[in-house]
Chains A and B, each alone.
Chain A
């Protein structure tokens, strides 16, 4: 029995000479190693599989399978694990040495054996094995981390896909191609039909790729779907998306985008392009095209104070096609590193082809250009057709769509003292009013009006405060001190809102009465 020491190894010795075996065994045991002894090559292979040694000593010339063959078999059995094989020989000629190394031999030990030489060789191999093991472990760890990362991204993608869902992209007037570099695409494409039957589409290209880009897509998608569904105008939607992105994204992360609002009944398209390559309106009658150039900073760069939501309005005709793409199309590189470029796109646009095939021609040419190389940007291409048939009908607003709308109604809300002390009713009221499509678009104006009416009723009517107090800065503070005290002391009071809404031929009439 030997005492297990930290450097103790299990060592297999295959040697046909009994005396040599005994000497080597004694030396190894003296250094604290566990020794397994065999007398020929065949037993060496069997013993290797059975006892899994850390190190193997093999005589070269042995009966039943010589050392060279045994080394070869042992190396193939050890697979990825590093199990050093040391030949017990003092082979003089280079040819024999080469044969041993070829078979997987790692070193040689010549006779007579020397304890110091033996120990230092074992130590060196131990260190090598340790390093090999550490590397293998790190490799496993990295691949495990990578696996986790992919799993997490897949879960996140499911969440992302639910928010940035296909919406109206399934409509057959829309054709699109999107490729992704990572699990997430830095490009985002959303489409939805408004309550009035307009088709809203946004193609966005976020700075960067993957997770950071996808994070920006979340507020973009939720705002877009939420506001299109409620009937907001393109300008309102753009402003809201810009504000959300400006507030939530770090500086330097933004979204180049084109947003369109297409009314197929009125045959007009509103386009806002901030930072995307020129959009193309390709004409059915003439096979010519008009460009809609980017005239704005991308979304999320400017605060809403400076943001401009002015749109370009174009007249559409049946059979026209509206095309938009991200810069990934121009920048798509072939194996030689050359970009697809502007000229190649213009060649297709100038080809005079029918509008319906422009999209597929551009896509085909880009894909042929890229070949089988890795794409170095997200490539997105979108084509919207102005249908020349009944497909427009499918886009008409459907009555009873979603939860329906408020039409003719009356509402009365009375807040008594206890509520007046703590509750601000404005959000609640705006929420109700926003259920009327026509009023929703004016909700910010209505908010201001209601806010003034409510504050007047509360401060002047209920609390009896005079506006004149506010005329000096000191008075301003005084006014709000009095307002606070008045509210705290309030016992018998109320403010009543009365709303009456009637729909009319071209809209509706909302009557608001606020009293106390």
Chain B
């Protein structure tokens, strides 16, 4: 539903969330970013240590939060990583985490413009 090819976040979802949260929208952005940073940091060490349970849990968490704010591309990437964790598949985990991290940065940048 994005109106711009550059948009990382579903614009309609943004409108709905602003309407829902009102003055607490800023708080939502802050919490999403903090939560995401924490999870990515945890994912880094888990991927390095091949701790599949943590990879699964944290990518699952970030997937949900991302979908909730309309960051669907990020959500899908997290979903792929979650599946690797579930399947105990270390191959491609590192590359996928890098893609997640890059997309997360883009989402955060876009969120801050709202």
Contacts and interface: CB of A to CB of B under 8 A. Distances in A.
Note whether A and B contact each other (Cβ less than 8 A): yes
Interface string B21-41: 100100110011011000000
B34 to A, nearest CB: 7
Interface stretch (A11-19, A343-351, A491-499): A11-19
Contacts of A18: 31-32, 34-35
Interface residues of B, number: 21
Lowest 4 CB-CB distances: which A-B pairs, in order? A19-B32, A18-B31, A111-B64, A111-B67
A111 B72 CA distance: 11
Contact of B65 (A19, A27, A30, A89): A19
B105 interface: no
A61 B57 contact: yes
Contact of A112 (B24, B34, B61, B70): B70
B102 interface: no
A23 interface: yes
B20 A23 contact: yes
B60 interface: yes
A44 B63 CA distance: 23
Contacts of A19: 28, 31-32, 35, 65, 68-69
A111 B68 contact: yes
Contact of B35 (A17, A23, A112): A17
Interface residues of A, number: 18
A16 B24 CA distance: 19
A22 interface: yes
Nearest to B83: A92
Interface in A40-66: 61
B13 interface: yes
A22 B35 CA distance: 12
A26 B24 contact: yes
A23 B21 CA distance: 8
B97 to A, nearest CB: 18
Contacts of B24: 22, 26
Contacts of A27: 20
B99 interface: no
Contacts of A22: 21, 24, 27-28, 31
Nearest to B70: A112
Interface in B1-50: 13, 17, 20-21, 24, 27-28, 31-32, 34-35
Nearest to B29: A19
Interface in A160-203: none
A408 interface: no
Nearest to A60: B60
Contacts of B65: 17, 19-20, 111
Contacts of B69: 19, 112
Interface in A105-154: 111-113, 115
Contact of B28 (A23, A90, A115): A23
Contacts of A113: 68
B32 to A, nearest CB: 4
A111 B35 CA distance: 16
Contacts of A88: 64
Given A17-B64, A23-B20, A27-B20, 18 more contacts: A17-B65, A18-B35, A19-B28, A19-B31, A19-B32, A19-B65, A19-B69, A22-B21, A22-B24, A22-B27, A22-B28, A23-B17, A23-B21, A61-B60, A90-B64, A111-B68, A112-B67, A112-B70
Contacts of A112: 13, 67-70
15 contacts: A16-B61, A17-B35, A18-B31, A18-B34, A18-B35, A19-B28, A19-B32, A20-B64, A22-B24, A22-B27, A61-B57, A90-B64, A111-B68, A112-B13, A112-B67
Contacts of B20: 23, 26-27, 30, 115
B77 to A, nearest CB: 15
Contacts of B70: 112
A61 B28 CA distance: 21
